[in-house]
């Protein structure tokens, strides 16, 4: 039995999605910008997908921009807003210390080119402080920032951020607000109107669409500087021929996600809680990272005292269980988690942290098997470490 508990990195593609992608590849060869029948069939695929994705986040179809995934959506949101100012002024950008690298590295690159940058701190719970944002905005009252960008759900911890309250603060000062909802869309109900945001990023492969397709929701009427220049696709906001087969996969995955909520969220939360509680009971020195109350239903991040996180990931993989130490985009590096470090956790917790992220295919039987394997692998690694001493 092989068990996949790394849904925050990417979710397996359901058969219905794969079949839909294959059908469009076979039967819909046209370019959606063409006026002939083949082109109009492709355009209909895009229109249907735009409606489905809008329904996933509570927006309107005309507000959906198809992209290659979360990273492009984040880049388009951040750069598109700050570069759209008609006066050319390089106003400040405010973001948090626990953002995905797609936001953090984009903001840092803009900072090197003259845009002032403010990074909001987080506390030991992994939640960004609303008061900290309020203080920053008060300090910048005379020269308001161009954008505040705070993620809806942290990819490593699963912690949910107070986006609604932060967006309200930003809007009171006429500042645009972007949220990276890559780990939220498809996991629980997301509504852009209730959140009060101006832009929202999502990635299809987190909830069962193919890799390489995503979307950016852009509030109607918001000025956005295109980052890909060419034709007039996506209402002039993102040039390039649309990836029709992948976008069809995004449509089907979005429809499936909507149909399963909220029942699937409740089921995954129950499995996650059973996994987490079992580990804490059976493994001495295990501790959960992040706020246990404010988090997405499928994720737990646990540190194991006396064990290197990478060693535990490898040990579990040998047992047929796939987990991770954090963001898939940072795997393979020797750098410790910037998220856990930003929380001020002691080094042993940062270096021994492992993320378990569940999904639609996770079963009770699989959780039972994981609860057998984790204590044994941890004990073996700890014994090996003592032997080296």
pLDDT > 70 fraction of the chain, expressed in percent and rounded: 97
109-156 pLDDT tens trace: 999 999 999 999 999 999 999 999 999 999 999 999 999 999 999 999
Mean of the pLDDT values across residues 92-118?
Answer: 97
Mean pLDDT of the chain: 95
pLDDT of residue 327: 59
Question: Has residue 1 got a pLDDT over 70?
Answer: yes
Peptide bond preceding 262 in cis form (omega within 30 of 0): yes
Cα–Cα dist 79/106, whole Å: 8
**Which residues face 94 on adjacent strands?**
118, 148
Mean pLDDT of 71-95: 93
Which structural domain range is residue 298 located in? 3-11+261-388
- Classify residue 232: in a domain, yes or no: no
Mean pLDDT of 275-288: 98
Q: Residue 388's pLDDT is what?
A: 55
> Which pLDDT does position 28 carry in this prediction?
96
Residues noted as catalytic: 329
Alpha-carbon dihedral sign for residues 69, 217, 88, 97: negative
Per-residue confidence (pLDDT) for residue 249, from 0 to 100: 98
Tens of pLDDT, residue by residue over 358-386, are 999 999 999 999 999 999 999 999 998 76
**Is residue 378 domain-resident?**
yes
Q: Which helix (H) or strand (E) holds 217?
A: strand 214-218
Residue 333 is predicted with a pLDDT of 53
CA 132, 134, 138, 143 torsion: positive or negative? positive
pTM for the complete prediction?
Answer: 0.96
Q: What is the pLDDT of residue 88?
A: 72
Percentage with pLDDT > 90 across the chain: 94
Judge whether 59 lies within some domain.
no
Beta-carbon-side half-sphere exposure of residue 25 (alpha carbons within 13 Å): 8
* Domain assignment of residue 275, yes or no: yes
> What is the C-alpha to C-alpha distance for residues 70 and 128, in angstroms, rounded to an integer?
21
Quick one: pLDDT at residue 334? 54
- The CB-side HSE value for 318 (13 A sphere, CA atoms) comes to 11
Region 172-184: what's the mean pLDDT? 98
Answer for the pair 143, 94: CB distance below 8 angstroms, yes or no: no
358 found inside a domain: yes
Compute the C-alpha angle 203/91/101, nearest 5°: 30
Polymer length of the chain:
389
CA distances from 93 to 85, 111, 112, 141, 170 (A): 13, 8, 12, 13, 12
Note the pLDDT of residue 85: 84
Counted domains in the chain? 1
- The CATH number for 336's domain is 3.90.1150.10
Inside any domain, residue 93: no
**Comparing C-alpha atoms, which of 88, 82, 128 is closest to residue 107?**
82
Tell whether 266 is covered by a domain: yes
Three-state secondary structure call for residue 348: helix
Q: What pLDDT score was predicted for residue 386? A: 66
Tens digits of residue pLDDT in 185-208: 999 999 999 999 999 999 999 999
**Domain for residue 347, yes or no?**
yes
Residues 302-353 pLDDT 10s? 999 999 999 999 999 999 999 999 755 554 555 789 999 999 999 999 999 9
Mean pLDDT value across residues 199-227: 98
């Amino acid at each position: 039995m092989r068990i996949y508990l790394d849904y925050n990195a990417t979710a397996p593609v359901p058969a219905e999605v794969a079949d839909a992608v294959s059908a469009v590849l076979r039967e819909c060869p046209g370019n959606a910008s063409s006026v002939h029948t083949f082109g109009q069939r492709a355009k209909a695929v895009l229109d249907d997908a735009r409606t489905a994705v809008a329904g996933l986040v509570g927006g309107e179809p005309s507000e959906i921009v198809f992209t290659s995934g979360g990273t492009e959506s984040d880049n388009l949101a951040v750069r598109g807003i700050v570069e759209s100012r008609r006066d050319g002024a390089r106003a400040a950008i405010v973001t948090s210390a626990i953002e995905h690298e797609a936001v953090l590295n984009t903001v840092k690159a803009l900072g090197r080119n003259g845009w002032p940058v403010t990074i909001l701190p987080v506390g030991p719970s992994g939640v960004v402080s609303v008061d900290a944002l309020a203080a920053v905005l008060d300090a910048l009252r005379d020269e308001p920032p161009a954008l505040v960008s705070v993620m809806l759900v942290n990819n490593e911890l699963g912690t949910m951020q107070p986006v609604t309250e932060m967006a309200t603060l930003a809007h009171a000062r006429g500042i645009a607000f972007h949220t990276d909802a890559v780990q939220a869309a498809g996991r629980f109900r997301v509504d852009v109107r209730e959140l009060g945001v101006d832009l929202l990023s999502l990635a299809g492969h987190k909830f069962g669409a193919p890799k390489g397709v995503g979307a950016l929701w852009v509030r109607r009427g918001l000025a956005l500087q295109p980052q890909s220049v060419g034709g007039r696709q996506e209402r002039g906001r993102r040039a390039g021929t649309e990836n029709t087969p992948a976008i069809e996969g995004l449509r089907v995955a979005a429809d499936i996600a909507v149909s399963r909520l909220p029942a699937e969220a409740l089921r995954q939360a129950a499995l996650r809680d059973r996994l987490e509680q079992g580990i804490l009971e059976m493994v001495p020195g295990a501790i959960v990272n992040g706020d246990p109350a404010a988090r997405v239903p499928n994720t737990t991040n646990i540190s194991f005292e006396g064990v290197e996180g990478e060693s535990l990931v490898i040990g579990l993989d040998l047992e047929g269980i796939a987990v991770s130490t954090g963001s898939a985009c940072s795997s393979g590096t020797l750098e410790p988690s910037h998220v856990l470090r930003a929380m001020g956790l002691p080094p042993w917790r940062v270096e021994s942290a492992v993320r378990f992220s569940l999904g639609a295919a996770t079963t009770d039987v699989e959780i039972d098997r994981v609860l057998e394997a984790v204590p044994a692998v941890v004990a073996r690694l700890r014994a090996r470490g003592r032997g080296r001493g």
